[in-house]
Amino acid sequence: MTATKLVETENSDGGKDDSYFLKHKYQDKSLEELQLLLKDETISKNQKKKIKKQINWLETADERKELRKKRKIEYKERNKLNGTKKRKLEKVSTNENFGANYHVAIDASFNDLMDNRDIKKLAKQIGWCYKENRRSVCPVQYHMCGLNGRLKGAMDPSHENWDLHFDADVLKQFEKDNLVYLTAESDNILSNIDRGKVYIIGGLVDHNHEKGLCQKLCVEKGIATARLPLGENINIKTRKVLTVNHVFEIILAFLELQDWKAAILKVLPPKKLPNQDGDKLTKAPGLLCETNQHHIEIKSEE
């Protein structure tokens, strides 16, 4: 099998521009496949540099593993000398007292609307939400609804052991009266987070191509919607977009602080907001990418 043939036969996921994506991303390929691609004369020099970089990454995997082990041992020894221990995280997920707990769900039913690149971005955001919830002083019951297909394949390999709820589709899992879908287009402003309600974040990274989709679906299915009180707490100028993890983190921050403005600024601090010269929002490394579920508009003080 030639290198070109190898690339072509892998274009079977049905996502947008998958052939382009697979031809320019090599982190999922084996060392043998990369070495075969390196011999393909149709691949540009720039792409061959990327292939060589990935080959080097795979060849040094054992060295990095040993380095991580060494650092872990050093960390434990240092903590032992200092008399400190890593805080043990208590189990969060529970099926008891549903009405007494706070609930946030990710609607993972939009696989077909994203290409492979955005699927991976969403998987990373979902993992970030999990980490923040585990460390939060006010954790919520974290639900993943309808996780399957390419998104499930892109998740961290350990995700099945995570301390969260893996549920069926939203309407199959919860009573409609308990649902509040968070969308930027909603006319309802979210004033509080209530126990027993399930606040849903649309799991869709689409660079605004499907703007208003979740609001439209909720209207059709009779699901209540609300939007975060962004414009009511910070000044507005240019349209920006919140990631899934930013919406999730703002909810966690509000439960801790009981103040929307403080919660929003904790997640999106002033240094990340545009200044009077119109600077753009600073990107959080590896996480900030567009989703059409919540927009933030920011303007400078007059």
Q: Which of 115, 118, 167, 206 is catalytic?
A: 206
Strands 225-226 and 238-241: unpaired
Taking residue 123's Cβ as centre, other Cβ atoms within 10 Å add up to: 22
Cα–Cα distance, 278 to 299 (Å, whole number): 8
Cα–Cα distance, 295 to 184 (Å, whole number): 6
CB half-sphere exposure, 110, CA atoms < 13 A: 23
Decide if 287 contacts 245 (C-beta within 8 A). Answer: yes
| Residue among 148, 156, 146, 145 nearest 123 (CA) | 156
CB half-sphere exposure, 23, CA atoms < 13 A: 14
Cα–Cα distance, 183 to 211 (Å, whole number): 10
Question: Where does the chain show beta strands of DSSP type E?
Answer: 103-107, 141-145, 165-167, 179-182, 198-202, 225-226, 238-241, 295-298
To the query of whether residue 206 is one of the catalytic residues in this protein, the response is: yes
Length of the chain: 302
Alpha helices in 61-212 (DSSP H): 61-82, 116-135, 149-154, 170-173
| Residue among 250, 236, 253 nearest 296 (CA) | 236
CA dihedral of residues 255, 256, 259, 262 (deg, nearest 10):
-130
Q: Which residues are catalytic?
A: 206
